Amino acid sequence: MKKHSARVAPLSACNSPVLTLTKVEGEERPRDSPGPAEAQAPAGAEAGGRTSHRCWRCSRAQLKKIFWGVAVVLCVCSSWAGSTQIAKLTFRKFDAPFTLTWFATNWNFLFFPLYYVGHVCKSSEKQSVKQRYRECCRFFGDNGLTLKVFFTKAAPFGVLWTLTNYLYLHAIKKINTTDVSVLFCCNKAFVFLLSWIVLRDRFMGVRIVAAILAIAGIVMMTYADGFHSHSVIGIALVVGSASMSALYKVLFKLLLGSAKFGEAALFLSILGVFNVLFITCIPIILYFTKVEYWSSFDDIPWGNLCGFSVLLLTFNIVLNFGIAVTYPTLMSVGIVLSVPVNAVVDHYTSKIVFNGVRVIAIIIIGLGFLLLLLPEEWDVWLIKLLTRLKVRKKEETAEGAADQGSGPQSKNRRARPSFAR
């Protein structure tokens, strides 16, 4: 059995997944030679038994992965939609999006402790916290996590993380959650465009079409509300949040590459430490300048703040580490499914109008997002599938012609077994 090691790119709190799976080759266990009884068995029966056993084992493994995929999709969808709705409720009593961003980001510190608990429970070779920390620090270079590395390789991502979340939460104040969630799906198109320009990724025509659909959806969403200043500002904030998210992903891949699970957990915990040390001063300044002001600490809805933070932490944990149990594409589908969930909630709790333009914009952006989920070799697979279907059709046509030309004698010979039964 081959050992696999997954490497992931840590995502920002409002990101769709960009995951890189790297397989580490290992030694295969040699198969035992068959015993005397097996050697005397007919070759056809042996091959058939092995094939059926292998198919059953593969189907069980695939079913298990699909089951976990459904669970992950539901978890991603519910946590993302739930955090968005709780943020909307929080702003009715606590109008402070940056403070909410700072409070939720502090919970990132829990990533590495939670990962270490999982490591102790599952790993056969248990390491101490210090040993595991030092091993994960190799991700930053031979010298580990130095002060220079902290400011050059961690601090910029901490700023991008904060901007991504703040712009997203500030947009929720301006427009409804349905528009916010669907417009943020455009970040995957921005990731493709930036990767194509900066990382020189492979050009794919279908992804260019998806990017065009995303831009068209943004324009149509703006037109749906009549280009009012309030909605235009909200849409601009969401697009800015999606852009910061895309920049976060592309820069991470450019500067740091990919990370194992432990390295990703440590990196995200470091972002939480950066938030406590260097971002804490900003909510304090906003409070005393009364930009984000509340009368007393007793009036703060702590339940909403903690609920939002827990759901956002759950979303990021599943999004970053769900690749261990299922396919990355399924996790992306969970983000798309959060859009209709938010639409249903908005329909019953707000005065949103689902006119034709808005519905078409949602469909266009969703279609563009799904097109971006296609693998790079999708055209090769499609050609192979069409070729197989064409060959099978020719074989069936040739068999039909042979049956027609065989005469009544061959038909009677084929009919005998059926009469014998």
pLDDT at site 417: 44
**What is the rounded CA–CA span in Å between residue 277 and residue 298?**
25
Helices 97-106 and 43-93 meet at what angle, rounded to 10? 140
pLDDT at 143: 84
Q: Is 218:239 a contact under the CB 8 Å cutoff?
A: yes
For residue 103 the two structure tokens come to 């409070």
Burial class (CB in 10 A: 0-12, 13-18, 19+), 369: buried
> Given this model, what pLDDT does residue 402 score?
67
Indicate the residue type of 57.
Answer: R
176 class by beta-carbon count within 10 Å (0-12 exposed, 13-18 middle, 19+ buried): buried
Helices assigned H by DSSP within 175-204 = 177-184, 187-198
Residue 177 exposure: Cα atoms within 13 Å on the Cβ side: 24
| pLDDT score, position 78 | 94
What pLDDT is stored for residue 197 in this prediction?
86
- The answer to whether 105 and 272 have CB atoms below 8 angstroms apart is yes
pLDDT recorded at residue 259: 81
Q: Where are the domains of the chain?
A: 64-380
Number of C-beta neighbours around residue 356 at 10 A: 9
Helix 281-288 and helix 97-106, axial crossing angle in degrees, nearest 10: 150
What pTM was estimated for this model as a whole? 0.78
Residues 119 and 127 sit within 8 Å (Cβ to Cβ)? yes
Q: Please tell me the distance from the alpha carbon of residue 303 to that of residue 312, in angstroms, as a whole number.
A: 14
User: What are the pLDDT tens digits along the chain (421 aa)?
Assistant: 444 445 555 655 444 433 333 333 333 333 333 343 333 344 444 444 444 445 455 577 777 777 888 888 899 999 999 999 999 999 988 999 999 999 999 999 999 999 999 888 887 777 888 888 999 998 888 888 889 989 998 999 999 999 999 999 999 998 899 999 999 999 888 998 898 888 887 777 787 888 888 888 888 888 877 767 678 899 999 999 999 999 999 999 988 888 888 899 999 999 999 999 999 999 999 999 989 988 778 888 999 999 999 999 999 999 888 887 777 777 788 888 899 999 999 888 887 878 888 889 889 988 888 888 877 666 566 677 777 777 777 777 777 666 665 555 544 444 444 433 4
106 Cβ contact partners less than 8 Å away, ≥ 6 residues apart:
272, 275, 276, 309
